[in-house]
Structure 1
Amino acid sequence: MGPRYQNIAVIGGGPSGISATKALVEERIFQTVRLFERRDRVGGIWHYDPVPDVFPTATKAGSNPKDIPSKLPHFAPPALEDLTSRTAIYDTLDSNVGAKAMSFSHTPFPLVNSAQSTRYLGHSNPTRPFRVVAKYLEELFKDYLHLASFNTTVVKAEKKSEKWVLTLRQSGHLVNGELKDYWWEEQFDAVVVASGHYSVPQTPEILGLENAATKYPAHFEHSKEFRNPDDYVDKKVVVVGGNVSSADLVADLHAIVKAPLELSQRGHNEALDSAWNLPNVKLRPTVSEIKTSARGINVYYSDGSVTEGVDKVLFATGYKLSYPFITPDPVTPNNRVAGFYQHIWKIGDPSLALVGQVRAAISFRVYEYQAVAVARYFAGRNKASLPSPREQDQWEVDRLQYKGNSPIFHEIKPDFKEYFDFLTELAGPPAAESDGYSLPPWEDKWAEHAFEILQLKDKYWKSLHKKKEGFVSAKL
């Protein structure tokens, strides 16, 4: 019996795209597996770009379906760089999911820590420097490099007459002494979209923000742009946000900015309370308006208070989901993906699958399980099949009632075991003629390993409280 689909495209070369490519190849049944990556190597968000993305109010460059030449294949002048392809990595970044749980089940991370994490979290702590993670991913993909097309942007993916037609643009071609982009199309039976969801920064709608950011662009940053705490020394800073990235920024900046560090939150993660209450941090309600003055930026809050003369407003407010190349675009105004069963298969057409479109799900490990389940479904080797489209629709309705119509719809926490068990059962055992392997059953200790870093950070943040309290007592 042959596979459900013969020719498969994978879009994106980050951890989820690497997982998908590996799982598909290991089935040893597909005629074609191709990976398209807009950067010059694999790794996704684990690249380091010294010059960051620009603040979200600025116009993003890059190509879109309206730019497609009328006749393909075609050489065209280079498109402007898509700035969203730059990453949020900064030079001292360490992973924030415990290494034992974050790694793929088949390959553990090397036992390497940074000097900074060792100083703050102790020896042999569960973080890994981003360069270690990037190298880990590159090593895993080296056997599949021949399948990859780098510097290649998927501008459009559209189903036509039972085939997925991908419109592609590859940069870096020298034609008659001039650099050109090469445009072409390829057709596939199925597509795995693994392009991630940490590219397009999101900021709240605030009265006056766009005008102020246009007038004083250097005063505004998203956490994606953060590169070096040196840029904040003795500056008056407002941080906006209430989750992990905000906590890390507050921890990095609270002792070096012009006190106090103003922290504006609509809501917050209670597990990070030790960060919100660090010394020199002043909690504020939501920002209601931003005004410009002769002194620069004034930030107004919903309780009527104001911070004047602000040097930096730093938004740690997450990312927008972005799949602009999929036709039609599945992203809703509420920033969730609609119409995908279990966050993976397109309802009514499972030849389109997403890998990596989940939150709070233990990072690389869940991408691996999703990828194996997709590969074995595409191969027609599953122990269990997908339910009917009607049942899949009902799953989405039930999910909306459970999690709500927001990005939280894609949050797996706290149902780790149920989700991993579902993927393991659907994948089933490996076929004898494949190079696959059995997915290890879920273990509760994986969740414990995943949150080890947060526990160590909490301990460190609390030590800063005690140090401050001890200093005040000594002065008294």
Structure 2
Amino acid sequence: MNVHTPRKILVVGGGPCGLVTLRNLIDRGQFEQALLVERRDDVGGVWYLEDPPLPGVPRDRPYWPSPAYPALVGNVLSEYLSFSHHPFPELPSQLHPYPTLLQTHQYLKRFAAPFLESGHILLSTEVVWVDELADGQGWNVTLRDWRSGSAGNERVETWDAVVVATAWYDFPSWPDGVPGLAEAREAGLATHAKNWKGPSGYEGKKIVVVGNANSSNDIVAQLKSVAQTPVYRSIRRQGLRRFAFLPDNRVVDVAQIACYSIDANKKLDLELLDGQILTGVDSVILGTGYKAAAAPFVRLLENEVMTPMTSSLTMPPRIPALYEHIIYSRNPSLAFIGTIMSYTPFTLADVASTFLCLVWSKHITIPNSLEGRLAGEQARIAFVEATRRQIDDPSSFVAYHILAAAEQGYAQGLKDAIRKVDSDGARKWAEALPEWEDGDWKRREGMYERKWASLEAEAAGEDQFKMDARL
């Protein structure tokens, strides 16, 4: 396919994926201009926890909350939160080898600092629309300025190419078709983990947390020492071992919620699928994840709509028609970074955006035919649908938008394509990027066992601990 090398590239979103994409466009692409716009007043994406608005105090800009919370500790080792040529600082504790929210945000701020100083990052600038121009001539981008004194003024700019690096955390996933859930949400008795800001306010309350993956487990771990016990964890199946959570007699697992009802005291009665009823529940917190939205601010030409090539088995919704989960197949001047969930999104965004730079600079070619560019998507859809038919109650790990074990082959394939480019620069970049070979993948998998060891050592009150020889 004849891919035009863009001169001016706009990156949307100042989280980890957008920041590393900007760095790679500047350092590895040799394009005329690369600019990142972020609607909030600081970089970091979900890792930037902004103070919430004060009640009754007027604001001159919208509030876009992060789903993070003050006591958040990550589940990925710092090695896999490190962009190439920019290692994560050594952490002070071996007992707690997983960076906190603050440590991760500070890392991202240090990474972004030179680009803020050089004017390559524009904060408090919201992307309202990205409109495709005819004949592949670029994109009109409507921007809304929320900087001090600008009062949301809008302007339209034309860019040759656009990278969307926002996909997830504005779109929480709610269970479908559960009677009474909508009313419980309306009454403020059921909320999503996106809105969790810590255990304050839950003292002595009767709480049910839905789910047993990372978010739900973190929330339960904080609630069990302040809420009424037991704290109930409503689950479909036993959790995967990678979602570490030590057994605790203050936490009781129960079946899925079949129905919500509000009692006369404005509390919840919950009927579970096994017939058990929990009465007088103060709050339900749903750790049911997020979904990829098909870029709601991107407007394509009328005859080229982003229509998902999907059936109900490949839900939740995703951004469709992407080559290698990156490049929009019908117009390669539109790209996405971070649209597919992975174990190590920082490092995957690094390799994916390097791959994108080499495609746009014509060092890596993509298939000429639309069918060829969509072949990978079709193969993944077929795999997901076949796998889900074979499992009675498949988890979300068997979904289009979650790579799971497929991350190894996908990421290593991108890395291998970069390595094959015949240029000194590409060879140096490939050398700096992480590997996903079998040994490297085994080390990645080992970080989940490390989490168990960390929790066990913490529970035992140890200051020092040694990993089991199997790690």
Assess same fold via TM > 0.5: yes
Aligned residue in 1 for 2:291: 320
Identify the match of residue 287 of structure 1 among 257, 267, 274. 257
Aligned residue in 1 for 2:410: 419
Distance 1:315 1:97 in 2: 22
Identify the match of residue 249 of structure 1 among 206, 219, 229. 219
**More divergent stretch after superposition (25-34 vs 426-435):** 426-435
| Conservation of the 8 A alpha-carbon contact between 1:10 and 1:36 | yes
Q: Which runs of 5+ in 2 are unaligned?
A: 309-314, 389-395, 462-471
- Give the match's secondary structure for 1:229: coil
| Conservation of the 8 A alpha-carbon contact between 2:91 and 2:97 | no
| Conservation of the 8 A alpha-carbon contact between 2:3 and 2:360 | no
Aligned residue in 1 for 2:82: 103
Deviations 1:170-196 (Å, cap 9, x if unpaired)?
11353xxxx621111111121111114
Change (3 A) 1:209 1:415: closer
- Give the match's secondary structure for 2:381: helix
**More divergent stretch after superposition (197-206 vs 273-282):** 273-282
- Give the match's secondary structure for 1:172: coil
Aligned residue in 1 for 2:400: 409
Change (3 A) 1:430 1:48: farther
| Conservation of the 8 A alpha-carbon contact between 1:93 and 1:130 | yes
Aligned residue in 1 for 2:379: 398
| Conservation of the 8 A alpha-carbon contact between 1:274 and 1:462 | no
Identify the match of residue 73 of structure 2 among 81, 84, 94. 94
Aligned residue in 2 for 1:438: 430
- Give the match's secondary structure for 2:219: helix
Aligned residue in 2 for 1:222: 192
Change (3 A) 1:292 1:430: farther
Does 1:171 find its partner at 2:143?
Answer: no
| Conservation of the 8 A alpha-carbon contact between 1:196 and 1:357 | yes
Distance 2:346 2:425 in 1: 26
Change (3 A) 1:14 1:446: farther
Aligned residue in 2 for 1:67: none
- Give the match's secondary structure for 1:271: coil
The CA RMSD over aligned residues, in Å, is 3.1
- Give the match's secondary structure for 2:83: coil
| Conservation of the 8 A alpha-carbon contact between 2:408 and 2:441 | no
TM superposition shift of 1:239: 0.5
TM superposition shift of 1:337: 1.9
Distance 1:276 1:305 in 2: 25
| Conservation of the 8 A alpha-carbon contact between 2:292 and 2:318 | yes
Deviations 1:309-366 (Å, cap 9, x if unpaired)?
1112111111132321012574856322211122111112211111111212412000
Aligned residue in 2 for 1:33: 34
Aligned residue in 1 for 2:392: none
**Number of residue equivalences:** 426
TM superposition shift of 1:436: 6.7
Deviations 1:131-184 (Å, cap 9, x if unpaired)?
22112112212222212221111111121122211111111353xxxx621111
| Conservation of the 8 A alpha-carbon contact between 2:130 and 2:141 | yes
Distance 1:376 1:79 in 2: 41
Distance 1:190 1:207 in 2: 45
Higher strand share: 1
AA aligned to 1:198 is: Y
**More divergent stretch after superposition (224-233 vs 290-299):** 224-233
Deviations 1:248-267 (Å, cap 9, x if unpaired)?
22222234432222111234
Change (3 A) 1:24 1:128: same
TM superposition shift of 1:237: 0.7
| Conservation of the 8 A alpha-carbon contact between 1:243 and 1:268 | no
Change (3 A) 1:104 1:248: same
Distance 2:422 2:38 in 1: 28
Identify the match of residue 202 of structure 2 among 232, 252, 270. 232
Distance 1:102 1:445 in 2: 19
Identify the match of residue 182 of structure 1 among 144, 149, 153. 153
Does 1:297 find its partner at 2:268?
Answer: yes
Change (3 A) 1:86 1:430: farther
AA aligned to 1:317 is: T
AA aligned to 1:410 is: H
Change (3 A) 1:224 1:260: same
Does 1:373 find its partner at 2:355?
Answer: yes
Percent of counterpart pairs with the same letter? 25
Aligned residue in 1 for 2:370: 389
Q: Which runs of 5+ in 1 are unaligned?
A: 54-77, 468-476
- Give the match's secondary structure for 1:201: coil
Distance 1:108 1:464 in 2: 26
AA aligned to 1:151 is: S
Distance 2:223 2:45 in 1: 27
TM superposition shift of 1:444: 3.9
Aligned residue in 2 for 1:458: 452
| Conservation of the 8 A alpha-carbon contact between 1:165 and 1:186 | yes
| Conservation of the 8 A alpha-carbon contact between 2:28 and 2:357 | yes
Change (3 A) 1:330 1:49: farther
**More divergent stretch after superposition (404-413 vs 305-314):** 404-413
**More divergent stretch after superposition (410-419 vs 391-400):** 410-419
Distance 1:339 1:182 in 2: 33
Deviations 1:222-271 (Å, cap 9, x if unpaired)?
21222222433321110101311112222222344322221112345321
Aligned residue in 1 for 2:333: 351
Change (3 A) 1:138 1:449: farther
Aligned residue in 2 for 1:61: none
Change (3 A) 1:3 1:431: farther
Aligned residue in 1 for 2:469: none
- Give the match's secondary structure for 1:132: helix
- Give the match's secondary structure for 1:313: strand
**More divergent stretch after superposition (26-35 vs 450-459):** 450-459
Distance 1:109 1:461 in 2: 22
Change (3 A) 1:452 1:105: farther
Change (3 A) 1:268 1:157: farther
| Conservation of the 8 A alpha-carbon contact between 2:73 and 2:98 | yes
